[in-house]
Amino acid sequence: MSKTTPATAFLRRAEIPFETLLYDYDPSVEKLGVHAAAAVNEPPERVFKTLMTDVDGKPVCAVIPVARELSLKKLATACSGKIAKMMKPADAERVTGYRVGGISPFGGRKVVPTFVAQEVLEQPYILLNGGGRGVQVKLAVPDALAVMNGRTADLLAVIS
């Protein structure tokens, strides 16, 4: 399957091997990422979501497993910052050039610091948004981290 987006074009230019997986995007589901994982027949711990945040007034991208929640406190610590908050959807779209539901850590409008949940290191490969609603890209973890210049960190909220 093939669909060209700014993210897939970016990966091709970087000569990163990847596979594109398309699925029927359904904005009515409660957990879009978990729905995407099921739609492409992958376990949720291998499918990662891209969250745009603001740390001390600067944009930061956080990449975490779709079934988990981000700890804003841990993200701020990873960034050596004080206060992290989720970016408003309109701001996330302006910074990345992507629509919410299709935000990718690859090929965005601006290059921003990217932090990836350390659990990524437990996976042989991961899937991430490919720059469009209903588009996932599957690639090796080392390639994903290298091309997004991602730094791994403890980012996940503790499940009680």
List, for residues 138-147, the tens digit of each pLDDT value.
999 999 999 9
The structural domains of the chain, with segments of one domain joined by +, span 6-150
Q: What pLDDT sits at residue 1?
A: 46
Beta-bridged to residue 83, according to DSSP, are none
Report d(CA 99, CA 91) in Å as an integer. Answer: 10
Q: How far is CA 12 from the centre of its chain?
A: 18
For range 120-129, the mean pLDDT: 96
In CATH, what is the architecture of 6-150? Alpha-Beta Complex (3.90)
Asked whether residue 52 carries a pLDDT value surpassing 90, the answer given is yes
Q: What pLDDT sits at residue 2?
A: 58
Instruction: Tell me how many degrees the CA angle 44-49-54 measures, rounded to the nearest 5.
Output: 145
Instruction: Tell me how many degrees the CA angle 95-81-125 measures, rounded to the nearest 5.
Output: 60
Q: Check: CB of residue 137 under 8 Å from CB of residue 127.
A: yes
Look over the chain and give the mean of its residue pLDDT values, rounded to a whole number: 92
**Tens digits of residue pLDDT in 1-32:** 457 999 999 999 999 999 999 988 877 767 77
